Amino acid sequence: MHEEIDVSSPRWQLAVRLRDVIERRWPAEVQAIGVHGSLAHGDDHDGSDVNLLVVKYRPAAGPRPALRRVEGILVDLEVTTADEGMRRARELTSRWPLEADRYVTTRPLHDPNGWFGKLRDTHLARLAETRPPEFTALARHNWALASAAHGRAVRLAEWYETDAALVMIAESRLHAALVTGLLTRTYFRNAADAVRRTGVAGADMQELGAVLKEQAGELSARGQPVDGNIGLLFE
């Protein structure tokens, strides 16, 4: 269920004004308009963005995607067609833990035909029919990225390239968090939420190496080893 909305919030008021502009300019082209992220959860604050999703009937009509500040607030205007939105809701990728929230928790601003409810149901139905090996394969992909970034961070630290090493360790933490999210079917609000909830936000290189080693063992136990011969590459 949605939290109570603070209608006096500048971000909520901006979202409503954007909706009104879009409805006036493209009244016959827009099927639904909604917000996701902090506005949808009802806990936006002064540093929050306005994440607006516009669903169109036709690809070539309606507003275009945009990312820019409006009156001091960052607006991320995402635009999709109804068919494309449903297709994406049925698609599972290695970034599923960061993408699922927008399918499950979107607050409608204009949705006369209940499109966002159908989007949620479509995604949940896809999850219900997904077998564990599919999530494991996606987790293995993230583990490979996490391990590679961790290895680069170690080398950069040895070369006293501290700033670059910090970038790599942050990347490794995020992908390690996505491994956990996929193996446990847990989705997160954003990247910061992912590393915080999985306990790797403050992990140093040694601690993160131990996490990756543990994850490698779990992936192998699930039938998806992280290392092997050439033949495994093509399975």
Model confidence over 48-67: pLDDT tens digits?
999 999 999 999 889 999 99
pLDDT attached to residue 3: 61
Does residue 232 form part of some domain? Answer: no
CATH, residue 90:
3.30.460.10
Distances (CA, A) of 221 to 110, 148, 216: 47, 21, 9
pLDDT attached to residue 1: 44
Same domain, 26 and 124: yes
Range name among 33-42, 55-64, 92-101, 226-235 with the lowest pLDDT average:
226-235
Does residue 200 form part of some domain? Answer: yes
pLDDT attached to residue 177: 98
Out of 129, 144, 168, a domain closes at 129
Same domain, 189 and 155: yes
How many domains are contained in the chain? Answer: 2
Residue pLDDT, tens place only, 15-37 = 999 999 999 999 999 999 999 99
pLDDT band at residue 95, thresholds of 50, 70 and 90?
very high
Same domain, 35 and 76: yes
Q: Is the dihedral of CA 76, 197, 218, 134 positive or negative?
A: negative
What angle is formed at CA 218 by the lines to CA 95 and CA 123, rounded to 5 degrees? Answer: 30
Does residue 1 form part of some domain? Answer: no
Does residue 73 form part of some domain? Answer: yes
Out of 129, 144, 177, a domain closes at 129
Residue 2, pLDDT > 60, answer no
Same domain, 21 and 54: yes
Residue whose C-alpha is closest to residue 6's, from 36, 38, 34: 38
Structural domain of 24: 10-129
**Whole-prediction pTM:** 0.93
